[in-house]
Amino acid sequence: MALPQTFQQAPNEYRGVKGWLLFFCIGLTILSPLSTVAGLARGFSVASRVADRLPAFMTAMAIESVLAVLTMALGIFAGVSLWTVKPNAVRVAKLYLIVVPVYAVLDVALSLAILRSKAIDTLIESTISVLGSIFYSVLWLSYLKESKRVKATYFERNGDGSENISLNNRKPPAPFDPAQDAPQQPTIDAVEPANQPSEPRSEEKRD
């Protein structure tokens, strides 16, 4: 019948790291790290020029660099996990998308604490950065939740009923049951003795 065949082929149509999912992986593993490294290089360049007037700015850059590198590392790990269809890849990606706006808010607070004289300009730039981070996270979180390709690649089963290559839906092993899993004692059938004495014959009738 044509209907069951269409039903079985539907998941395979969307399965695999392609399209927007592939673009997301490239962004996490290549584009975002390059942007982070370029931003840190510009920040340290500015900090080195104003280090004499604002010594605390270099300290702020050091703290920001640590936070940026940790966030970048989490993003690379999430991208590689999605790209190679690893267990819990989608969960790691969602965690990264939650960390991104949190890092942006911490960056704003750090900048305002150091650059108080330019608080207005810093606040405007930082607000734009935070809003952009929130938009980025909400957009990709919605994609990971609603995408047919994400569901088919990481969560759904194959058309023949077997589990997909992803381990996101793998069930934990059943708990140990002593009553069922205990080794059974072998049963030994009773064997009658080989030379068992026969019953006494009845006395022959006398003539």
User: Is the pLDDT confidence value at 30 over 70?
Assistant: yes
This prediction's pTM: 0.69
With vertex at residue 41, the alpha carbon angle to CA 68 and CA 104, rounded to the nearest 5 degrees, is 30
- 165 vs 6, 29, 87, 152, 199, CA distance in Å? 21, 22, 9, 10, 72
Classify residue 204 as exposed, middle or buried by CB count within 10 Å of its CB (0-12, 13-18, 19+): exposed
Residue 5 has pLDDT above 50, yes or no: no
CA distance 16 to 164: 11
Inter-CA distances, 137 with 35, 55, 96, 103, 194, Å: 16, 34, 9, 12, 85
For residue 135, the model assigns a pLDDT of: 96
The answer for residues whose C-beta is within 8 angstroms of residue 91's C-beta and 6 or more apart is 168
For the cut 50, the answer to whether the pLDDT of residue 33 exceeds it is yes
Using one digit for the tens of pLDDT, what is the confidence trace for 153-198? 998 644 443 445 444 444 555 555 555 555 555 555 555 555 555 5
What is the torsion angle, in degrees rounded to the nearest 10, for the CA atoms of residue 160, residue 161, residue 164 and residue 165?
-70
According to DSSP H, which parts of the chain are helical? 2-14, 19-26, 32-49, 55-83, 89-114, 119-146, 148-154, 178-181
109/103 Cα distance (integer angstroms): 10
